[in-house]
Chains A and B, each alone.
Chain A
């Protein structure tokens, strides 16, 4: 099961992943994980990131790239 695909999420291009989350919805392999990095009690978290944790299962179907309104996802195919 060698990785053939590298998925990258570019933070600068995706300002509010928590309000969009379209890449998470369309992914057939559930590659992405949405994480709040500054969650505190009695405070709405503001800093959210998307981690392509399960890029191992990415089939490079490009659904996330096509649906992303900000071009924030890049998929690189590595030659094994």
Chain B
């Protein structure tokens, strides 16, 4: 079992523990002001931080030390706060887990995706803040032009299905652990969590608890999964006419599975593969 689930999950995954999804925990930790600041400054913080990071990474000799410094800030055990959380800032989840979170939390909202707005000026509603985070979007007219939009459990599940069909990666954000404050339907490179992870390999954002696996006998080599994968983990052997998944690169989002016409792809638990157990 992963160490964060061991510590915060009470026998389950950390994001399936009811306490970690509650407004009560957010208020106990005193995060009302942080939630407001998050909506206010999200694009500014990302724009400036990315610029600084890119400037540092310009110099190849500084790349490794910078990565180590950022990771050590995120992974420290004591004095955790929202800027430097303990462990990680979220991870990829599967559709089933996302639906379970909706059931447990019950308190799900929908707002305009701030990442796609800041990176593409695209106005799409894919971001699903939970609990207190969703309530506090009230008044931020450019994040929520429709006002605070609360989804029922059925609506939220339907919406998750829609996103899965489109090929968006479900993620859960938690800063600091164990408070899970938002569920998103992301895509690379617009997502501000996935982009630093993939482009700079900073492990602030982790892979999911599952990995995809192809049943070679069922695979017809149509290549639909290759197009859908956001992480470049699938590769079509043209001569063999089969898809192969590089499980070291796989984030376990299950987007390829949703696009497979033959249902040849399944998700298997990461723990069941010894070589991948510690690959996050």
Contacts and interface: CB of A to CB of B under 8 A. Distances in A.
Contacts of A52: 51
A1 B57 contact: yes
B58 A3 contact: yes
A54 B198 CA distance: 14
A56 B199 CA distance: 11
Given A39-B140, A56-B54, A33 B47 contact: yes
B77 interface: no
A36 B142 contact: yes
B198 to A, nearest CB: 12
A57 B199 contact: yes
Contacts of B119: 24, 30, 32-34
Contacts of A1: 57-58, 60, 63
* 7 tightest A-B CB contacts, nearest first: A21-B121, A53-B50, A41-B139, A33-B47, A51-B47, A56-B54, A42-B139
Contacts of A42: 139, 141
Interface in B39-62: 39-41, 43-44, 46-48, 50-51, 54, 57-60
Interface of B: 36, 39-41, 43-44, 46-48, 50-51, 54, 57-60, 63, 117-122, 139-142, 189-190, 195, 199
Interface string A5-31: 000000000000110110011000010
B142 A39 contact: yes
Nearest to B121: A21
Contacts of B121: 17-18, 20-21, 24-25, 34
Nearest to A28: B189
A25 B139 CA distance: 27
A55 B36 CA distance: 30
Contacts of B140: 39, 41
Contacts of B44: 35-37
Nearest to B120: A24
B120 A21 contact: yes
A21 B190 CA distance: 14
Given A2-B59, A33-B47, 8 more contacts: A21-B121, A32-B119, A36-B142, A39-B142, A44-B141, A44-B142, A54-B54, A55-B54
A51 B141 contact: no
A25 B40 contact: no
